[in-house]
């Protein structure tokens, strides 16, 4: 077996010398290197911002969606949406483990895993698309993928449905970071609160801020406000368009007595919501941009332009223990598990 680089640089075709994620094209030859793992892929969970863009480009036509998805993988050797730059993750069964890591990995052939590294850097070959489920951004395929030595993964637990696990692991970074950044007594706003990442953030924020804190759920419309109130994961629900920064600011001033939020967590799947997030945050507060539709330029220049001294955090999809924390929410909360199973599994 050929010796590979820990981060997969040996697979980069264009431009040479960079890492697989920013590369335009990587090799999806499925003969593995000595430090790689070959996966027989069952389902792709396409990142929401990416799937929304592809599906809209295809005018919500499934055959056209299939064509675009296959085209991306054929061209790039990975599923990295050229417009959003984002990927997603996958579920599959271990087919082969490279000789160089056989003795050190916990995995064995036949294990079912979800990869926790982005599809935007994962060598992927699609042989056949079996089903596209646009309502949950999932695509069942026949195909193979490669996990690099540095790649993180979660073994699929047997006490939860597989598609549910795949769905929640896709956004596991969001609730796990929420747990780290929200403090007792904080006012926290989650934009896109009823979304897949959003509700996990609401749940975790509510646990962290305690009875003296306040959790505000914002969404474009009132979708799932009733369920969110019933589950008690938000104190206030506001229907507002987050691309209208000043409009949302007025509403947040009303519900916080003009004090604004200590933490704003942005979980939307559309562009141009940076300014609403920034304006609704207290000076020296924190904006956590989990949304893949976030523009660094718009956030940085926008905050400066309105004279807001806020801290801004890029939504790293990984933080230690993120998979475990998110799966545990599904085990601990019957109502969350039931709702997520209905909506996203």
Ligand X SMILES: NC(=O)c1ccc[n+]([C@@H]2O[C@H](COP(=O)([O-])OP(=O)(O)OC[C@H]3O[C@@H](n4cnc5c(N)ncnc54)[C@H](OP(=O)(O)O)[C@@H]3O)[C@@H](O)[C@H]2O)c1
Footprint of ligand X (CB under 6 A) = 47-49, 86, 170-171, 173, 191-192, 194-198, 218-221, 223, 241-243, 267-270, 290-293, 315, 317
User: Alpha-carbon Rg of the chain, whole angstroms?
Assistant: 20
- Nearest approach, Cβ of residue 321 and ligand X (Å): 15
Element spanning 59, H or E: none
Given the complex with ligand X, which of 123 and 173 has the nearer CB atom?
173
Given the complex with ligand X, which of 97 and 191 has the nearer CB atom?
191
Element spanning 199, H or E: helix 196-209
- Nearest approach, Cβ of residue 78 and ligand X (Å): 16
- Nearest approach, Cβ of residue 189 and ligand X (Å): 11
- Nearest approach, Cβ of residue 159 and ligand X (Å): 23
Query: Both ends of the chain: CA-CA distance in Å?
Result: 38
- Nearest approach, Cβ of residue 1 and ligand X (Å): 32
Please provide residue 340's backbone torsions phi and psi, each rounded to the nearest 5 degrees: -65, -35
Name beta bridge partners: 189. Answer: 216, 264
Name beta bridge partners: 126. Answer: 143
Give the separation between CA 154 and CA 181, rounded to whole angstroms: 24
Kindly give the interhelix angle for 162-170 and 322-332, rounded to the nearest 10 degrees.
130
- Nearest approach, Cβ of residue 297 and ligand X (Å): 17
- Nearest approach, Cβ of residue 243 and ligand X (Å): 5
Q: Are 159 and 129 in contact (CB under 8 A)?
A: no
Give how far Cα 321 sits from Cα of 122, 174, 266, 336, Å.
21, 12, 21, 20
Which residue has its beta carbon closest to ligand X?
195
Q: Are 274 and 246 in contact (CB under 8 A)?
A: no
Given the complex with ligand X, which of 72 and 171 has the nearer CB atom?
171
- Nearest approach, Cβ of residue 294 and ligand X (Å): 8
Given the complex with ligand X, which of 77 and 192 has the nearer CB atom?
192
Given the complex with ligand X, which of 86 and 163 has the nearer CB atom?
86
Give the separation between CA 184 and CA 207, rounded to whole angstroms: 9
Q: What tokens appear for 63 in the block?
A: 């055959």
Q: Are 119 and 88 in contact (CB under 8 A)?
A: yes
| Residue 102: burial class (beta carbons within 10 Å; 0-12, 13-18, 19+) | middle
Given the complex with ligand X, which of 173 and 302 has the nearer CB atom?
173
Q: What tokens appear for 234 in the block?
A: 């938000």
- Nearest approach, Cβ of residue 244 and ligand X (Å): 8
Torsion of CA 121, 149, 40, 56, to 10 degrees: -20
Name beta bridge partners: 89. Answer: 45
Given the complex with ligand X, which of 27 and 272 has the nearer CB atom?
272
Given the complex with ligand X, which of 94 and 264 has the nearer CB atom?
264
Q: Are 23 and 15 in contact (CB under 8 A)?
A: yes
Given the complex with ligand X, which of 223 and 328 has the nearer CB atom?
223
């Amino acid at each position: 077996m050929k010796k590979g680089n820990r981060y997969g640089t040996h697979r980069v075709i264009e431009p040479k010398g960079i890492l697989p994620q920013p590369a335009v094209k990587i090799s999806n030859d499925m003969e593995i290197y000595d430090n790689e793992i070959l996966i027989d892929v069952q389902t792709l969970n396409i990142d929401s911002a990416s799937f929304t863009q592809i599906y809209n480009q295809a005018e919500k036509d499934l055959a056209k969606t299939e064509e675009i998805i296959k085209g991306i993988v054929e061209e790039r050797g990975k599923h990295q949406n050229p417009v959003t730059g984002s990927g997603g993750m996958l579920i599959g069964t271990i087919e082969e483990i490279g000789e160089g890591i056989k003795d050190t990995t916990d995995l064995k052939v036949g294990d079912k895993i979800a990869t926790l590294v982005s599809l935007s850097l994962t060598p992927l070959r699609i042989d056949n698309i079996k089903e596209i489920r646009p309502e949950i951004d999932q695509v069942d395929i026949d195909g193979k993928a490669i996990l690099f030595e540095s790649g993180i993964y979660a073994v699929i637990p047997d006490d939860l449905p597989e598609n549910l696990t795949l769905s929640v692991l896709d956004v596991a970074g969001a609730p796990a970071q929420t747990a780290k950044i929200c403090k007792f007594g904080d006012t926290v706003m989650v934009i896109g609160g009823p979304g897949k990442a959003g509700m996990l953030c609401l749940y975790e924020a509510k646990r962290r801020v305690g009875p003296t804190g306040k959790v505000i759920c914002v969404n474009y419309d009132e979708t799932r406000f009733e369920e969110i109130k019933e589950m008690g994961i938000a104190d206030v629900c506001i229907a507002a368009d987050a691309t209208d920064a000043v409009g949302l600011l007025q509403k947040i001033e009303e519900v916080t007595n003009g004090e604004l939020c200590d933490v704003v967590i942005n979980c939307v799947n559309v562009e141009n919501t940076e300014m609403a997030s920034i304006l609704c945050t207290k000076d020296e507060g924190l904006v956590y941009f989990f949304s893949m539709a976030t523009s660094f330029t718009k956030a940085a220049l926008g905050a400066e332009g309105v004279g807001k001294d806020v801290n801004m955090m890029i939504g790293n999809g990984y933080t230690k223990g993120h998979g475990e924390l998110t799966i545990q929410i599904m085990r601990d909360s019957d109502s969350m598990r039931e709702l997520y199973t209905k909506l996203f599994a």
